[in-house]
Every structure is written in C-alpha cells, then in structure tokens.
Amino acid sequence: MKIKAARFLLPIAFATLAWPQLPKIKPGFNLFSKQQDIQLGREAAAEIRKKVKIVHNRDLENYVRGIGQKLAAQPEAGDYPYSFEVVDDKSINAFALPGGPTFVYTGLLLAAEDDAQVAGVLAHEIAHVALRHGTNQASKANLIQLPAMIAGGLLGGGSMLGQLARLGIGLGANSVLLKFSRTAESQADQLGAEIMAGAGYNPIELARFFEKLEAQTGKGSALSQFLSDHPNPGNRVQAVENVIRFLPKRQYITQTSDLVKMQAIIRGLPAAAAAPSNASKENGLSRANSVEAPTLPPATSFREYRGQKFTISYPSNWQAYGDSQSNMVTLAPEQGLVQGAIGYGAIVSYYLPGSNGVDLKRDTRALVSELESKNHGMRVANASRRFTAGGVPGLLTELTSESPYANETEVDLLITVARPEGLFYVVLVVPRSQYRNSQPVFQRMLESVRFS
C-alpha cells in the first residue's frame, strides 16, 4: 500500500517542479466583436492621417515597421492587422487604435536610447490592442447605448466612428479608446514584456523607458499626453522584473542600435509645421429630443434569433442587429433606434463582472449600479424580484431613465439570469406611453428564451 501511495504522489511532485507559469491575461468584457475593433481602428486611422503629418522616409518607415512586425508576429499579439506609421511631431507620443493601426511620433524616437526602448513602447501598445482595452473601456462605459449604436452603424452602413461620436466617444483628449486605466496599464506592461522577450528584446527596457519619461515630465508638456493616456501603475521596473522571472532565460539582442542613424534622419527632416496634437477631434453632437415615440403595429408573428448560447423569439417586423461573433444582439423595430440610441426594443447580452464565478444577486447589483452610473438619469424604480426566464430562475429589476423620444420617460426592464458563461441579461426598453401596449410582446419574448 505504501508503494502505491508513493507512486500516486509522484506526478504531483513533478508538477510542482515544473517551470512556473505566468498568469495568462485575457481580454475583458467587450460588446464589440474583434472584426468591429478592426473596422473601428481602420476608420479612426483614416481620420488620424488627415490630422497629423505622416513621415514618408523609407529608412525610417522600414525601421519602425521592422521592429513592429517582429513584435506583432508573437502569438501574444493576436492576429490583428497591425500597421506602424511615423508621425512627424516632436511630442513624445505613440498610440495604437483598436485592431492594430499604430502611430509613433518622431519626438518619441528622439527620446529613446536604443532599439529595445522603441520596441518597449511598441510592445506595450500592441498589448493594448491584443487585450482590446480601448473597446473594453468603451463597452463598460456605454452598456445600454452601445448595442444600439453598433446596430445603428450596421443598419445605415455608416461609419462606426460617426456612430460612436454621438456617445461622445472620439479620438480627442481623454477618449476612452486611448486613455487607459492603471489596471490596463499593468496588463499592457506584462503582456508587452512577454511579447518583447519573444521577439528577442530585453523586456526591462519597456519599464526603464516609461520611468525615464516619467522622470522628465517636469520639463515641459511634450510628454503630457502620452503619460496621461498611459498612467503609471506604480513600480514599473519591479513589475517587469517580476514577469522576467517567469520567462525562459535567454540572450537578448545586443547588436548596436540602428536608432542613432534614425535619429539623424529625423533631425534632418524639413521642419514640420506645427501639427495639431493627437488629432484632437471634438464631438458630442447634441441630442435633440424631437422624435415622437412611435405607436407600433401589434406583433402578429414571431421569429427566432439564435445566439451562440441562447435563443429568443422576437416580432417578425423587428430587426436583429448583432454580430454572430459577439455574445449580444439588439432586437428592435426600425423606429426603435433614435439618433443612435435605443428607445424601443430589447438588448440581449452577457455581463462579465469578474473572475469569481457568477452570482445572480451580487452580479445583478453590480450591473444595475454600472447602468445607473453610466446612463444619465437612470435609476431603479422597483427593486429586484424573482423571475423565471428560459426555465431558469432569475431576477427582474425595473429601471427608469430619460427617453430619446420627445416628452417621454423610459421604462427599462432588466432580466438577469446566472449562466456558466456570465450573467445573461435582457433589457427591454420602452417609452412609458407604450408600456402597457408592449407587455404581451415582451412577455412572449421572455417566455421564449432558451439556453443551449
């Protein structure tokens, strides 16, 4: 018996001897699909190119692209269509748009000490793209309006950027797409360090360069945008040293840097006319409530929407706006989408608040307070009560908010169900004047929910 027990223990002993693994960082909650990240980034890059002066110098372009592509080829970078362009601007800045377009300013290339530091900034930016931080932040900030926005964009075939501008999401200063939280920063440092190491650059240079820039902030404003977009999560060098301990030991590139040559080229560029910095684009179109709430014809027939993990029926004279790759759909009559907001219809999606499993009451509370804080004027009208959807017990919470229709308030019925993949939720949105009429339709929709 003793021998058997010893044998049984052996694999466990081996397991503890194995190389320790870094905790894997995964992209967080997101209402956009990867394809929509790419589309948004493409549109935004086209806007940026109108506002900044792109350097057309073959040596300089090849240099930045060469480092960038080596990093982008690492598995941690994901399979986004990365591109790397140099902006003729002496500000110390760099940024990446969702889906991969990356811009590096000549000022940053002048401030770096060697190739590894340039690689450090690029790897950090690539990590933001791979972790989808921009659209993750935009999703969290616009849980209700965004699904309708995305639906509206698909509906009109119009630009995504134009749709997002109506929510105040643009490319200007403090944009949620470009200004990151400290949590996002430490994630980008870790993943960036892994990407660098894979490409043969010493990851510690990432942290050193950020700290060097931090130390220079007092010396003028050429830096402020970059450091406010990438706030210091604290102890960058120590954090990256921690990551390095998990990485296989290896020899890093020590060849003499090409950077010095590039800096000479930059100094020889014809003086750039002062370009507007970082494409400051003001948006925030005013939302005039001039559209009257529609009285919809009664729904006589229904059809089924099949999501990846759920099905739900909706009136045949409504549309389903969704992307088969993302776990959400907006179901609405055409008149239900008003100036990029949803005024009438339903949003079906998942909320993924954390990594501690799903808890119906706790996560419903978290979702409700997120909705209240992010939607002007939204508040709970009736506390959560038990409700069954798809044969599974859930909660029904009645909220009220401003309506995009003229002279209306809005009723938002939130139904939440705990599922293994996250908190499944449906928000039924209706102008108060239509609330009573809409009950049979909404009831039928909720009764039709099935989980697969």
Which residues of this chain interact with Zn ion, rule CB under 5 A? 180, 185, 188, 230
Q: What is the DSSP letter of 54?
A: B
- Rounded to 5 degrees, what are φ and ψ at 52? -115, 170
- Count how many Cα atoms sit within 13 Å of the Cα of residue 51 in the half-sphere of its side chain: 15
**Per-residue tokens: 165:** 């501008």
Rounded Cα distance between 73 and 79, Å, is 8
| Shortest reach from residue 319's CB to Zn ion, in Å | 38
Which residues, including other chains, have CB under 8 Å from residue 157's CB and lie 6 or more apart?
A: none
Q: Specify the long-range contacts of residues 338-341, CB closer than 8 Å, at least 24 apart.
A: 338/291, 338/404, 338/405, 339/166, 339/287, 339/291, 339/404, 340/145, 340/148, 340/149, 340/152, 340/163, 340/166, 340/167, 341/145, 341/148, 341/149, 341/287, 341/404
Question: Among residues 185 and 410, whose Cβ is nearest to Zn ion?
Answer: 185
Residue whose beta carbon is closest to Zn ion:
230
Quickly list H helices, 217-302: 224-229, 236-246, 259-268
Comparing CB distances to Zn ion, the nearer of 42 and 124 is 124
Residue among 133, 128, 250, 123 at smallest CA distance from 193 = 123
Residue 301: C-alpha distances to residues 166, 297, 304, 313, 347 (Å): 34, 12, 10, 10, 20
Least distance CB 76 / Zn ion (angstroms): 15
In the complex with Zn ion, which residue's Cβ is closer, 140 or 230? 230
Tell me the closest approach of the beta carbon of residue 184 to Zn ion, in angstroms: 7
Beta carbon of residue 193, minimum distance to Zn ion (angstroms, whole number) = 13
Least CB distance to Zn ion at residue 210 (A) = 9
Nearer to Zn ion, 185 or 412 (CB): 185
Of 42 and 230, the one with the shorter C-beta distance to Zn ion is 230
Specify the residue, 234 or 393, whose C-beta has the smaller distance to Zn ion: 234
| Element (DSSP H or E) covering residue 428 | strand 422-431
Q: Which is nearer to Zn ion, 206 or 337 (CB)?
A: 206
Q: At closest approach, how far in Å is the CB of 28 from Zn ion?
A: 15
Count of all residues that appear for the chain in the document: 452
Min dist CB 132 to Zn ion, Å, is 13
CA distance 47 to 101: 12
User: d(Cα 253, Cα 325) in Å, to the nearest integer?
Assistant: 39
* Cα–Cα distance for residue pair 141/29, rounded to 1 Å: 11
What Rg value do the Cα atoms of the chain yield, rounded? 25
Between 95 and 314, CB nearer to Zn ion: 95
Shortest distance, position 280 Cβ to Zn ion, whole Å: 19
Query: Looking only at Cα atoms, what is the longest distance across the chain?
Result: 83
Element spanning 156, H or E: helix 145-156
* Count of CA atoms in the C-beta half-sphere (13 A) of 377: 10
Q: Are 138 and 177 in contact (CB under 8 A)?
A: yes
Residue placing its CB nearer to Zn ion in the complex, 114 or 185: 185
The nearest distance, CB 204 to Zn ion, in angstroms, is 17
Closer to Zn ion by Cβ: residue 187 or 349: 187
Q: Minimum Å distance from CB 330 to Zn ion?
A: 31
Q: Which residue, 88 or 185, is less far from Zn ion as judged by CB?
A: 185
Neighbours of 424 (CB within 10 A): 26
* Smallest distance from Zn ion to CB 288, Å: 37
